[in-house]
Structure 1
Amino acid sequence: MVDRANRPSALNAPSAAAPGPQVEITGSGAASKVTATLPSGESVQVLLYGATVISWKSNGGKTENLWVSEKAALDGTKAVRGGVPVVFPVFGPPPKSGHATSALPQHGFARNSRWEYLGKSTSEDALDSTSVKLDFGLYTTGLSEDAHKAWPLDFGLVYSVTLAKDSLQTVVNVRNEGEQSFEFQFLLHTYFRINDITKTQVNGLLGVQYIDKVLNASTHDQKDASVAITGEVDRVYKSIPQDTTTIVEGGSPRFDVVRDNLQDTVVWNPWIEKAASMGDFSPDDGYKNMICVEVGAVNGWQKLEKGEVFEGGQTIKSLL
C-alpha cells in the first residue's frame, strides 16, 4: 500500500452529549419538594411549602452546608426550622397597629404558603452544564384566606434558586401588581451548618451599627473585626457598606455571603436556653452546629408603587 503524505485523517465519531443537571419533583401537596443535582454531584432541595431550601450540598455532594432541625416540620404544617426560609412582607413581630402588615403573624406569610414551581433553566459551556436555576412563584391568588384577609394587596413574588458547583444563589423579585402602593420587608433566614460555634466568627461587619435584640433593641457599633458567639446573639446589622460577609471557622473562611441590592444582615444564634425553649429546635445542643447569617431589607420599609419591581438576594460561596 502506497503511503500518501496528505491522506485524510480518520473521522471521529460524535461524542455523546454531556450529562446535564437532573431535576425531580417528589412528594405531594405542601410536602412536595424539587431536587436539582449537577453532574458533578452538588445538589439542592427546595420544599414547595415556603419555597424553603432544606438542603444544599457542595464538594461533589459530600458536604451539607445548611442546618435543619431534627424536629423541623417538612409536611407543610408549619414554617421550617432551618434551611433558608423566605421572610416576607414583614420581619419579626409586625407593628402593633396602623400598618398594612399589622394583622400578619411574625415573619409574614411567605415562609408558610405553598409556592408554585415555575420550572428550570440551565447554563452550559461546551463540555458540561455548570449550573441550574429553579424558579418558584407566589401570588395573591395563592394565599390562604387568612393571609389575604390580613394583607389584601396584589403582588407577585418570583424566587430564583441557582445551584452552581461551589455556590448557591437565592434571589427574590417582588412586583406590585395592584393599584395601591405597599410597603414590605424581606429577609433570607439562612441557617448555616458549622462544626463548632465556639470556633466560629463572622467577619465583614467592622464599624457597622446594629440593633441588639438581646439587649432591649439597643443600638451599638461593631467594634471588633470578628463577631464571636459566646452566648445568645440576635443582632440586626444595618446599612452595611461592603457586599460580603464571611463566616470563619477554626481560623479558616468557610462561607462568603455576598449581598445583592440588600443593605442589612441579621446574625442569630439561640444559645442554650433559647434553643431548649423552642419546641421545634432539635437537638437541644444543635445551637453548637449552626449560625444564622441572614441578608435582607429589614431596617425600615421598602415601598413599591403600582407596577414597580424590587429585586434582591444573595450568593453563598462554599470555601471548602
Structure 2
Amino acid sequence: MSGEKPPVEICKGVNGLDKVVLREVRGSSAEVYFYGGHVTSWKNDHGEELLFLSSKAIFKPPKAIRGGIPICFPQFGNHGNLEQHGYARNRFWSIDKDPPPFSTVSPNKAYIDLIFKPNEEDLKIWPHSYEFRLRVTLGPGGDLMLTSRIRNTDGKPFSFTFAYHTYLSVSDISEVRVEGLETLDYLDNLKDKERFTEQGDAITFESEVDKIYLATPTKIAVIDHEKKRTFVLRKDGLPDAVVWNPWEKKAKSIADFGDDEYKHMLCVEAAAVEKAITLKPGEEWKGRLELSAVPSSYRSGQLDPQRVLQG
C-alpha cells in the first residue's frame, strides 16, 4: 500500500538526535536512539505507551536520557572512577553493518542492530577494549526484545556489571504489585546493601524502594491493577533483578524527573550486579530481555499472575 510506513525507519528525534522507529503491522512500535542505544518508547497496538519517559528528560549529550531503557555498562551503581551506571548510555552508537548470526529472525519482525566500541577517551576511563552489540526487536505480537552481546577484544580479562534499567509506565504505583520475587534474598541499597529475605507474598509499594534481588527466576510479572495489564519480563544471562522507585522525597531531588512522576513509573531491571561477569580475551557474554504486556485475568476478585508466570 502506498503511504504505508516502513517497519524500520531512521529519522530525527528530540533535539535532532537520530533515532530508529520499529513498527509492527498490527500497530505496535518502538523507538531507539543512537545516543545510548536507548529505547525511549514502546507502544502497543492501541498506541498506548508502555515505557515511562520523564517529561523532564534531557535529550542533550552528555546527559543520559531519564526513562525508557537505559543500558548500564560497564557498571551498575557507583563504584571507583567510573560514572554512575557506566557510560554506554551516554555515548553514540552506530548501525552494526556486520552483526554475528543471531537466532533466526522471522521476516515479520522489525529489528535494528547497533554496535558500540570504546574510543580513546573511553579507554582512559576504563582501559578495556570490547565490542558491544545490541539488537532491538519488535515481535509480531508487539513483544520487545533486547539482546546484548559483549565481546572482549582486549589482551587481558575484564569484569563488568550490567543492567537493562527498564522504566515501566504504570497507572498508579500504589496499585501495582510484582510477582516472582517473593521469598528471595535481596540487597537493600537504602540500607548499605544489607542482605534480607523478601517476606511478602507479592511486592507492593508504599515508600521508596531500591533493592537488588538475587538468583531470580527467568520470568517476573508486574501487575497493574488499575489498567488491568500485566507486564511479563523474561530474561536470560541476567541472574539479578533491580526494583526501584524514588518515591516523593527523592523524586523532588532529581532535576530531570517530575515531582509527582514517581506515581506513574516502576523500574524492574534485568541485571547482573551481585557477581561481576568476567570475560577472557576473545570471550563473549550474551544477555537478553523480552518484555510483553498482556491483559490481566481475574479470578475470585484477584488478578491471576500464576497463569502468566507459568505460560
Shorter-chain TM-score: which interval? 0.7 to 0.9
Asked if structure 2 preserves the Cα contact closer than 8 Å seen for 1:50 and 1:114, the reply is yes
Q: Helix, strand or coil: the match of 1:77?
A: coil
* Residue aligning to 1:5: none
Asked if structure 1 preserves the Cα contact closer than 8 Å seen for 2:156 and 2:281, the reply is yes
* Letter matched to residue 285 of structure 1: D
TM-score (ref. length: structure 2): 0.87
Deviation by residue 1:214-242 (Cα, 9 ceiling, x = unmatched): 123211101112111100000000111x2
Residue 254 (structure 1) shift: 1.4
* Residue aligning to 1:290: 265
| Deviates further, 159-168 or 303-312 | 159-168
* Residue aligning to 2:164: 188
Match among 56, 59, 65 for residue 42 of structure 2: 56
- The count of residues paired between Structure 1 and Structure 2 equals 286
> Which structure's CA Rg is the greater one?
1
Residue 197 (structure 1) shift: 0.5
**In 1, Cα distance between equivalents of 2:40 and 2:21:** 10
Q: Does 1:70 align with 2:48?
A: no
Asked if structure 2 preserves the Cα contact closer than 8 Å seen for 1:204 and 1:225, the reply is no
Asked if structure 2 preserves the Cα contact closer than 8 Å seen for 1:123 and 1:132, the reply is no
RMSD: 2.1
* Letter matched to residue 310 of structure 1: W
Match among 155, 161, 164 for residue 130 of structure 2: 155
TM-score (ref. length: structure 1): 0.84
**In 1, Cα distance between equivalents of 2:284 and 2:125:** 22
**In 1, Cα distance between equivalents of 2:120 and 2:128:** 13
Change (3 A) 1:312 1:122: closer
**In 2, Cα distance between equivalents of 1:211 and 1:149:** 31
- Residues 130-149 of structure 1 mapped to structure 2, 5 A cutoff: 131-140=109-118, 143=119, 145=121, 147-149=122-124
| Deviates further, 301-310 or 29-38 | 29-38
Residue 314 (structure 1) shift: 0.8
Residue 21 (structure 1) shift: 4.9
Q: Does 1:86 align with 2:71?
A: yes
**In 2, Cα distance between equivalents of 1:72 and 1:313:** 26
**In 2, Cα distance between equivalents of 1:254 and 1:144:** 44
* Residue aligning to 1:103: 81
Structure 2 alignment gaps of length 5 or more: 296-311
Over 6 Å off, 4+ runs: none
Structure 1 alignment gaps of length 5 or more: 1-15, 95-101
Residue 59 (structure 1) shift: 2.4
* Residue aligning to 1:275: 251
Percent of aligned positions with the same letter in both sequences? 34
